[in-house]
Amino acid sequence: MRTTKIGIAIDKDQLRLARRAAKSEGLSLSGYIARALESRLEEQVRIDAARELHRSWGRRSVPAAEDLAEFLSKMSRTRRRRDRAA
């Protein structure tokens, strides 16, 4: 994985809590934030897939069996997990 340095603004209290949480998990602050971002992005992919699938149902308020099967397949894909982030 290739990384890029960026600058962000964060609330001082959130930063303090994030540093504490990172330390308790044995991660750098950068690794902790990267892990949180990865998790949030994976969640967004699932939300986007659900919205796309819901749009495909059209006016039907209840999905057909095949729609439901496709939805469950997209929502239950296993995610790639690293033991430790950078």
Question: What total number of domains does the chain contain?
Answer: 1
How far CA 37 is from CA of 1, 30, 63, in Å, comes to 15, 10, 31
Residue 50: inside a domain: yes
Residue 83: inside a domain: no
Express each pLDDT in 1-56 by its tens digit. Answer: 788 999 999 999 999 999 999 999 999 999 999 999 999 999 999 889 888 877 87
Residue 28: inside a domain: yes
pLDDT at 79 over 80: no
Residue 57: inside a domain: yes
Express each pLDDT in 41-72 by its tens digit. Answer: 999 998 898 888 778 777 766 777 877 787 77
76 vs 27: which has the higher pLDDT? 27
The whole-number pLDDT of residue 63 equals: 73
Residue 4: inside a domain: no
By CB neighbour count within 10 A (0-12 exposed, 13-18 middle, 19+ buried), where does 10 fall? exposed
